[in-house]
Structure 1
Amino acid sequence: MDYFKKGAEIEISSDEDGFRGAWFAGTVVKPPAKKKNKTLVVVEYKTIMADESGANPLRETMDVLQLRPPPPRERSRTFQISEEVDAYYNDGWWEGVITEAHENSRFAVFFRTSREQLEFSENDLRLHREWINGNWVPPLEEEKVKTEEKSAVDVSSVFSEGTLVEVSSDEDGFQGAWFAATIVKVIGKDKLMIEYKSLRTDDDTDFLREEVDALHIRPYPPETVVVDRFNLLEEVDALYNDGWWVGVISKVLSRSCYVVYFRSTNEEMKFDHSDLRLHQDWIDGKWVKASQALEL
């Protein structure tokens, strides 16, 4: 909430047809104020006008869940084919995938939502990032290097055969989720063979096993204090499709039922209390609650 003070630079998402998946630059006009089950913010767009004259920027009252700070951007980078990017188009940033590299630093970008492919200059692209738990994922390249250096420890000193862990994935449709698994074998300093607790092989004859990089593994989260109820805007993990997905409580329906908003997919889903847990992050070898992570 500290990010959305009056005058703060922000990016705004929209639920309107034709605009889903895009982010538009704006500023905060009035800071967050609670109204019923929502926290609302008055914002002003920088590139979208209220009328055809183009003299008055559009102002709207938005749910705070549709806002984020402007993402960081590398001063210079070389984009690669298959890399996820945001492309500046029609006054906003739209998520796509680089499919072709052309001459003069131009790239073809495919947009899954519209099934279109358009060409952009390098200056109109940025690496796609998600705002998760008060942090940008992935971080800037220099920050990523620091993180990898911290994580580049001999995993044999941390994990052993039979250890219960959680595993993340970079595959489309699974990003942002953590799946319970057991260490089967430590292969090297940074590789492990794991067996999932809930994911099964294609023929459904056994639990899935695969070799995983140490950067995608963390210890199984510790038991947290039993929560009688979750609060509005509280960060939680929701159990869905055999994994734990990070989200935010967007509606409190009752003491045992909630609506959770997922930033990565811009979706809301209903969950029972028993399928939620307080969100924690594994940072520098320690478990940190979401409220603490925002302070780091």
Structure 2
Amino acid sequence: MSNSNPSSSWIAQFKPGDRVEISSEDPGFRGSWFAGTVVRRDANNTNRYVVVYDQLYEDETGDRLLQETLDWIHLRPPPPPPEKKVQFKFGDEVEAFYNDGWWEGAITAEHSGGKFVVFLRGSKEHIVFEEEYLRLPVQWVKGKWEPRFEQVQREEEMKFTQGMQVEVTTDEDGFKGAWFAATIIEPSGEDKYLIEYKTLTNDDDTEFLREDIRACNIRPCPPEIIAVDGFKVMDVVEAYYNEGWWVGLIAKVLSNGNYQVYFVEYDEKTTFKQADLRPHQEWLNGKWVVP
């Protein structure tokens, strides 16, 4: 959609040779930014620019870089590097470098070795990235960089109250990818809560286990979604197993309403009844998203 006559008196000014990042309204490319260079200003409309991409080509032969004429609102300077090393964590809004561009998403799991699972909103898929291919999203607003609203608000959205029914996950080996029902007991420090599990007990099974859990590892209980038509191969699901809900993929549809589920984290397959499965949902920026 063109916006060559903006109501604001401020309009981005670019010169030939300026390095820029380019966004697109085309289906399949929304929420992405690609590197390029300004070639010239459009002679017929001073609010439009001819740009050439760094890594996108006009056709599959790769002989000629793609050029486009775009409104100024689709251009911005390359974001500045962070002032200090970013410590990425679960729930962070990020941009991930994928298919030659930076794509909006959110971290949905932390792996060892500085790797993170990112849910890309544009393609609605989970992909593992090393931290060097991630960056925090920022906005170019009237000639200056500002943090994204979602990033500023994330800590406030993740507050939990005493007695709230939640689900929690842990980074401990053998428990990654699982969510366990719990109750918030009280805040236990900066960005931490004391919780009591509803299914896990202490070593002598005399009472329910209590632990201090980081806020980024806590989410509200997901809304119930009934899979009326069942599941199909490659659906992302959560399977109830060993007192918790474990994230996996449907590997095979069996007879009598049974399914074989593949757990990527552990490279294992197990058979479940449909009653023990639920669609996987992600809690991102205060709302539930179904990948």
Q: When the two structures are superposed, what TM-score results if normalisation uses the length of structure 2?
A: 0.51
Deviation at 1:242, TM superposition (A): 1.1
Aligned AA for 2:125?
A: G
Partner-residue secondary structure (3-state), 2:163: coil
Partner-residue secondary structure (3-state), 1:153: helix
Residues 129, 162 of structure 1: alpha-carbon distance in 2 compared, 3 angstrom cutoff: closer
1:135 equivalent among 115, 126, 140: 126
Deviation at 1:269, TM superposition (A): 0.7
Residue 244 of structure 1 corresponds to which residue in structure 2? 245
Residue 156 of structure 2 corresponds to which residue in structure 1? 153
Q: Deviations over 1:257-296 (max 9, x none)?
A: 0001111112111001111001111111110011xxxxxx
CA contact 1:183–1:193 (8 Å) conserved in 2: yes
Alpha-carbon RMSD: 3.2
- Distance (whole Å) between structure 1 residues aligned to residue 190 and residue 182 of structure 2: 19
Residue 215 of structure 1 corresponds to which residue in structure 2? 216
Residue 179 of structure 2 corresponds to which residue in structure 1? 178
CA contact 2:247–2:263 (8 Å) conserved in 1: yes
- Distance (whole Å) between structure 2 residues aligned to residue 243 and residue 138 of structure 1: 26
Q: Deviations over 1:25-83 (max 9, x none)?
A: xxxxxxxxxxxxxxxxxxxxxxxxxxxxxxxxxxxxxxxxxxxx9999xxxxxxxxxx9
Aligned AA for 1:239?
A: Y
Query: What is the aligned-residue identity percentage?
Result: 45
Aligned AA for 1:151?
A: R
Trace 1:1-296 onto structure 2 (pairs within 5 A).
Answer: 84-85=112-113, 127-129=114-116, 134-136=125-127, 140=131, 143=134, 150-153=153-156, 155=158, 158-188=159-189, 190-290=191-291
- Distance (whole Å) between structure 2 residues aligned to residue 284 and residue 143 of structure 1: 18
CA contact 1:168–1:176 (8 Å) conserved in 2: yes
Deviation at 1:187, TM superposition (A): 3.1
Residues 149, 171 of structure 1: alpha-carbon distance in 2 compared, 3 angstrom cutoff: farther
- Distance (whole Å) between structure 1 residues aligned to residue 218 and residue 134 of structure 2: 19
Unaligned residue ranges in structure 1 (runs of 5+) = 3-68, 73-82, 86-126, 291-296
Residues 154, 284 of structure 1: alpha-carbon distance in 2 compared, 3 angstrom cutoff: closer
Aligned AA for 2:249?
A: V
Partner-residue secondary structure (3-state), 1:151: helix
**Structure with bigger gyration radius:** 2
Unaligned residue ranges in structure 2 (runs of 5+) = 1-27, 29-96, 101-110, 138-149
- Distance (whole Å) between structure 2 residues aligned to residue 183 and residue 153 of structure 1: 17
- Distance (whole Å) between structure 1 residues aligned to residue 203 and residue 249 of structure 2: 32
- Distance (whole Å) between structure 2 residues aligned to residue 161 and residue 261 of structure 1: 36
- Distance (whole Å) between structure 2 residues aligned to residue 180 and residue 164 of structure 1: 7
Partner-residue secondary structure (3-state), 2:230: coil
